[in-house]
Structure 1
């Protein structure tokens, strides 16, 4: 049974008082970068019809893709991403999604599913609080005004976004992995929900202290949110149908200087964890601002992942995983790669 909006939304009347005085000791500096894999043609593949640029999802997609980055690519392939300040800048929500390429054999564009999923995650999270709706702590209880809004966890965001995709008429069918993370500006708390083999890592003091475990049905077949075609449509008998209820959830306290890296498997199939940590360091040439540093880290990760994909003699994480399953896939794995980096700063208030 799916969550209803009534079950997770706790609304009260809008307060007339601004809440800018509430202390937010944590700030999160975001960088995002991406690159598509070389185009692949499948027998029977239909011409791709993207969301129109003058539509709601298409115009949002174009704005996300237009954000400045150093990697000279304009498309995400079948990946997509989002990041947004939540209500009253109470925190940041971000995510990545990887559309499953296998749908191309049935004439379905996997990019539509991942783009729609991230659009709806963005839509729901931007108007919600990252934690309980905030009130001014300096006021006595009797003086505090009621606050409009609701707390939205990453799991709830994934569930609502998936429901949005199921209602999108232009998304006839498809599936995608999903990773959604929220970062609380008041407490420094990270919460996450992940389904499939996208994920995230936390880097502290130049070491990876946590990496999200992948969820798969079998080798190279991740768990995935799925929309099946209508009964009159073309059958796709190999589809895996998983639910947001199967997403793994996680939370932890972040510290000043921590780096959170959300990624699709185009990164982790080609780049080892210790390499990710080495790349996510301060670069004097990137500029002094934390925003510039976060963006430079995201760009370097994508550039290095693409170099590793093209390496024929370098042993990749994907090659090692395949070998454990008795398979031989030498070198890098060509794939779309999308990365969102959050650099954590803590200040005294």
Structure 2
């Protein structure tokens, strides 16, 4: 007997009523998406309760990831065709041939923009973020929680970084390219000069226009520590940051006292992007609880349902939240704990602040 396919595993143990839930959920979410305005919380971060986030998680995701905490919708009838389309959306994306049969003729590079949306689910309230769609820049920072044990506001440095970065972005001349490393350096210098307490990880990303007609626009980044990002194309991760750590669960971090890591330790780079790519940035509250293939699956599902960036961020954060409180399943954090042979090996998810910023790469107006 051959190895079960992903479809077999997805449907394993589900009765016909559960199958119909996929379609009922997809139709409901699709209708909701058409009436939702995409907005971006900048410095005034949203702090939705799980009661607000819970209804935004499609029932289909709950069945597929075996999540609880929500009464599933009543299924409809005659949903076989819709269910087949929905399942196809969450299956792995087909591979793209290395050598296409027809090579398209070169065309002039088209201007792109970032449509940005975010969701923040506080636990300790040490995260901060910003997004500026008009400037094609976004950032996420995570205050180091250990400082709170010293009676220090562990979120102060992360808020300082993002406040300074956002202020610099919106004061730049329109159309001026933004270098993420330079922006991170500037934000660090201003925050350190203010003597803000605590320490923070951070990631900043920006969209750079094509240099000429033969090139594609590029997504540029600079990050320090375990705040990170993933770039997805057609539902598969194209580029993924890897956490910088001094040791397990001790990320690189910036602080005001000079005994932290230097900005020069930041990882920098860039990747060409195209219309339809999805960028997901977040703190470790996201990436400690969701495996790469799970993130791919949620993004494919959100794309199939036509969710705007804001709703996509809500769903990703909501799923990560429920996974963080699930002790019956492995998480990236628990796997890493075992890999480092920790005496206090972690089991299940890891409760933490969860910040998710989603940016759709789209054609400029």
TM-score band w.r.t. shorter chain: 0.5 to 0.7
Aligned to 1:313: 328
* 1:176-230: CA deviation from partner (whole Å, max 9, x where unpaired): 00100001355521110010011100111111111101100000000001122xx
Aligned to 2:348: 331
2:351 alignment partner, SS class: coil
Verify the 8 A CA contact 1:200 1:261 in the aligned structure 2.
yes
Query: What is the CA distance between 1:126 and its match in structure 2?
Result: 2.0
Aligned to 2:199: 175
Aligned to 2:168: 124
Verify the 8 A CA contact 2:110 2:363 in the aligned structure 1.
no
Mapping of residues 23-42 of structure 1, within 5 Å: 25-37=111-123
* 1:265-289: CA deviation from partner (whole Å, max 9, x where unpaired): 0011000011111111364897x6x
Q: What is the distance in 2 between the residues matched to 1:284 and 1:255? A: 16
Verify the 8 A CA contact 1:311 1:332 in the aligned structure 2.
yes
Q: What is the distance in 2 between the residues matched to 1:100 and 1:284? A: 33
Aligned to 1:217: 246
1:344 alignment partner, SS class: strand
Note closer, same or farther for the CA distance 1:284–1:223 as it changes in structure 2 (3 Å cut): closer
Aligned to 1:64: none
Mapping of residues 184-263 of structure 1, within 5 Å: 184-185=208-209, 188-228=217-257, 241-263=260-282
Verify the 8 A CA contact 1:26 1:184 in the aligned structure 2.
no
Aligned to 1:45: none
Q: What is the distance in 2 between the residues matched to 1:203 and 1:226? A: 32
Query: What is the CA distance between 1:293 and its match in structure 2?
Result: 1.2
Aligned to 1:302: 317
Q: What is the distance in 2 between the residues matched to 1:342 and 1:84? A: 10
Verify the 8 A CA contact 1:223 1:240 in the aligned structure 2.
no
Verify the 8 A CA contact 2:178 2:208 in the aligned structure 1.
no
Verify the 8 A CA contact 1:281 1:297 in the aligned structure 2.
no
| Larger mean Cα displacement after TM superposition, 215-224 or 100-109 | 100-109
The alignment covers a number of residue pairs equal to 250
TM-score by length of 1: 0.67
Q: What is the distance in 1 between the residues matched to 2:282 and 2:156? A: 19
Q: What is the distance in 2 between the residues matched to 1:278 and 1:151? A: 33
* 1:78-129: CA deviation from partner (whole Å, max 9, x where unpaired): 00101114xxx4x411010000001012111011111111000111122336
Query: What is the CA distance between 1:168 and its match in structure 2?
Result: 1.9
Query: What is the CA distance between 1:346 and its match in structure 2?
Result: 3.1
Whether 2:301 is the aligned partner of 1:277: answer: no
TM-score by length of 2: 0.64
Query: What is the CA distance between 1:27 and its match in structure 2?
Result: 2.1
Note closer, same or farther for the CA distance 1:323–1:176 as it changes in structure 2 (3 Å cut): same
Aligned to 1:98: 142
2:350 alignment partner, SS class: coil
Q: What is the distance in 2 between the residues matched to 1:240 and 1:332? A: 31
Two-structure CA RMSD over aligned residues (Å): 2.2
Note closer, same or farther for the CA distance 1:273–1:284 as it changes in structure 2 (3 Å cut): closer
1:81 to 92, 109, 129: 129
Note closer, same or farther for the CA distance 1:306–1:282 as it changes in structure 2 (3 Å cut): closer
Runs of 4+ deviating beyond 6 Å: none
Note closer, same or farther for the CA distance 1:240–1:330 as it changes in structure 2 (3 Å cut): farther
Verify the 8 A CA contact 1:24 1:185 in the aligned structure 2.
no
Verify the 8 A CA contact 2:309 2:359 in the aligned structure 1.
yes
1:280 alignment partner, SS class: helix
Query: What is the CA distance between 1:342 and its match in structure 2?
Result: 0.5
Verify the 8 A CA contact 1:311 1:331 in the aligned structure 2.
yes
Verify the 8 A CA contact 2:116 2:132 in the aligned structure 1.
no
Note closer, same or farther for the CA distance 1:105–1:283 as it changes in structure 2 (3 Å cut): closer
1:98 alignment partner, SS class: strand
Verify the 8 A CA contact 1:27 1:185 in the aligned structure 2.
no
